[in-house]
Structure 1
Amino acid sequence: MKRSVFTVDEIKKKLEYYCAYQDRCHQEVEKKLSEFRLIPEAREMILLHLMQHDFLNEERFAKSFARGKFRIKQWGRKRIVQELKYRDITEYNIKSALKEIGTDEYMSTLYKVAEIKERAIKEKNAYLKKQKLYQHLYRKGYESDLIQEVIKDVISQKS
């Protein structure tokens, strides 16, 4: 049987664990807080406690989110920015997070993703193959000018 009534200290401890387990944004923490149906004063007190004790840090969240999505899912900057905006992260923290991705690493990842996808596309028509590759990289969140540059290089290597 699941308990439905918790003290403020119990909720505080649960949210400390929730934030310590993985960096969270304010939006995620507020959603979790809403499950407890607290009065506004208690919600504010808990949020303030989490920020004061560095369990909740939006800049740290943005940086780790950007690093993780780039290195693990190989997302481009545009997709990362879009996802951070969706989570109501400030422009300052978004810029700060993007600095976590080095230009050289970004370009080598883009080339690697393009080469892998290019080998996987079975299309014989060169124009359609380029189009499919472009769409894949665009969905991943890479910038159009960089995609075109990389496609030229990747496809010309095969010719």
Structure 2
Amino acid sequence: MSTLSRYVLMAAIFATILIAGLVVLLFLRDRKHELGIYLSLGEKRSRVIGQILIEVMVVAFVGVTLSLFSGNFIAGQISHTLIKTDETADFEQVDYINKDLTSDLTVDDVIGLYEVKLNANYILVFYSVGLATIFISTLLPLIYIVRLNPKQILM
């Protein structure tokens, strides 16, 4: 199960880089003339790249923050609903109970497994993966646009 979830995570990161890269490329195509003007006025390429990266990363930071806390809130509500559903469910007696199987799980242990919590490690990984993905997907199309001559960009 761990290997499968790792593959799904890698596929999701790759798809995010691809989709976000295309969105940023469309964003940069709209601002291509602006970048050409900056470069033709003598602005360094590194400063132009830095400006665009800062703009995109600020928006990405706000988006990752909103998604982290809204996702945590929604997951908590779903978990609470699942616990309430399990508590109110009327279970019928099952005839095929295996009496050899015993478990040390209590109801409190099961409820504890449904509990949704944010810890510092999870938040750090969430921010680092999210912002690194946006950084890579911004840098790739930006290098393509900025490597052109200002004359080519403005035409």
Greater relative contact order: 1 or 2 (C-alpha under 8 angstroms, separation 6 or more)?
2
TM-score normalised to structure 2 length = 0.29
Could you say which structure has the larger radius of gyration? Answer: 2
* Structure with more helix by fraction: 2
TM-score normalised to structure 1 length = 0.28
